[in-house]
């Protein structure tokens, strides 16, 4: 690496969907990209596609706190000792009436969607502090605006990520680190196609966002002046509509709209 290496991004859940789209966008823009996931075969294929000189890949289970430190250290060295952006993207869903899913599935979702973000921020901080202008982008969801039927635990984790992001953004201003999140509605990824699409809400609203739409938002968050970054970036006109509704409508109205869209 040169004495002035490329900016770098560490991406969890990079093997597919939004994580892959973000990896491709940043790699093509000249960033050094960290590809991390539990799907090692898909990571190898993506690394070959992007080129070994553009990226570094490794297996990472975000729910396992012990996995983080060695992968971050390896990435730090490969990237020329900088970590400009941590993208906490890895996530799973449980789409069913709450009581029909095994408790272990709910726990696993919390471990990945929430604990994975906490683990990432905790272990990445020493590296972020050493990179001027560093920032964190957490993958949130429009389901954080009001709890969604059939996505109860998923909604809970995303609401928690939203609150965690807000608090950490205030705390870490003393380190010069911005912490923001991205809130899309339904995105055309395998998770939505294979699982979430059975929800009545999806059938009502449709799936109008692509992984590239989210990747463009993450890119904008990497480029703007830190002081001007929005704490929450909503993606797509539908999400913006529901965001404003959640902010300005009485709780009873939000509950009514959510229930009706879910067919309840």
H or E element that contains 135: strand 135-139
As beta bridge partners, residue 18 has none
Catalytic pick from 36, 146, 154, 243? 154
Q: Is 171 exposed, middle or buried (0-12, 13-18, 19+ CB in 10 A)?
A: exposed
Q: How far is CA 204 from CA 7, 23, 130, 260, in A?
A: 41, 31, 47, 10
154 given a catalytic annotation: yes
Q: What angle do CA 97, 118, 16 make, to 5 degrees?
A: 65
Q: What angle do CA 5, 89, 55 make, to 5 degrees?
A: 30
Cα–Cα distance measured from residue 262 to residue 260, given in angstroms and rounded to the nearest whole number: 5
**3 state SS for 211-253:** HHHHHHHHHHHHHCCHHHCCCEEEECHHHHHHHHHHHHCCHHH
DSSP conformation letters of 34-99: EEEES-HHHHHHHHHHH-TTTEEEEE--TT-HHHHHHHHHHHHHHTTS---EEEE-------S-GG
Known catalytic residues are: 154
């Amino acid at each position: 690496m040169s004495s002035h290496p490329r900016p770098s991004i560490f991406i969890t859940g990079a093997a597919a969907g939004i994580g892959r789209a973000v990896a491709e966008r940043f790699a093509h823009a000249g960033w050094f990209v960290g590809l991390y996931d539990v799907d090692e075969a898909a990571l190898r294929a993506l690394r070959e596609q992007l080129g070994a000189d553009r990226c570094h890949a490794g297996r990472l289970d975000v729910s396992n706190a012990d996995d983080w430190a060695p992968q971050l250290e390896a990435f730090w060295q490969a990237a020329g000792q900088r970590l400009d952006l941590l993208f906490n993207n890895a996530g799973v869903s449980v789409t069913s009436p709450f009581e029909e899913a095994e408790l272990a599935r709910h726990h696993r979702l919390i471990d990945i969607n929430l604990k994975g973000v906490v683990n990432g921020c905790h272990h990445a901080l020493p590296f972020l502090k050493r990179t001027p202008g560093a920032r964190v982008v957490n993958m949130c969801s429009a389901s954080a605006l009001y709890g969604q039927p059939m996505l109860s635990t998923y909604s809970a984790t995303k609401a928690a990520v939203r609150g965690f992001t807000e608090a950490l953004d205030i705390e870490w201003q003393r380190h010069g680190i911005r912490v923001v999140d991205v809130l899309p509605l339904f995105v055309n990824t395998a998770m939505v196609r294979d699982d979430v699409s059975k929800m009545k809400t999806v059938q009502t609203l449709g799936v109008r966002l692509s992984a590239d739409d989210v990747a463009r938002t993450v890119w904008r968050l990497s480029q703007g002046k830190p002081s001007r970054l929005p704490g929450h970036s909503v993606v797509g006109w539908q999400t913006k509509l529901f965001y404003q509704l959640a902010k300005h409508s009485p709780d009873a109205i939000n509950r009514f709209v959510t229930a009706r869209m879910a067919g309840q």
